[in-house]
Amino acid sequence: MTTITPKVTFPARRALTLTLTLLALGSGLAGCVVAPYSRHGGGGRGHEDGGVVVVEPPPVRMERPGPPPAVGYLWIDGFWNWSGGRHVWMPGHWEPRRPGQRWEPHRWERGQRGWEQRGGEWHNH
């Protein structure tokens, strides 16, 4: 019985080497793109300490809230949070209204160095 051994030609080896090289470079550079800048020197913590994120947040997701759990509840829209070096969707939820206060929704604003998260808190009227 004759065994046939397949030969890998030079172009196939070259394509494989090129593919593996590009994958290695791509995964090595991926972390460089999302590193947030912190104006307070905390470095790498995103908006938690007033930092700036260089990656634009994705489009806001449209959510369909069901009925409130009780009278006097306010729907708080979901938002993109910065966590673990990436944007993570935080779903909306119902929250009891606070007398004498208004809700300022979460939002991302573009600044000179990147994106800063604002809002997401109650304010006195």
**Counting Cβ atoms within 10 Å, is residue 36 exposed (0-12), middle (13-18) or buried (19+)?**
buried
Residue 66 vs residues 20, 58, 72, 74: alpha-carbon distances, Å: 48, 24, 14, 12
Mean pLDDT of the chain: 76
β-pair partners for 121: 104
Which residues of the chain are modeled with pLDDT < 50?
25, 27-49
pLDDT tens-place string over residues 22-42: 555 454 444 434 333 333 333
Give per-residue pLDDT as tens, 105-115: 999 999 999 99
DSSP-H helix ranges across the chain: 10-33
- The helix or strand, by DSSP H or E, that contains position 74, with its residue range, turns out to be strand 73-76
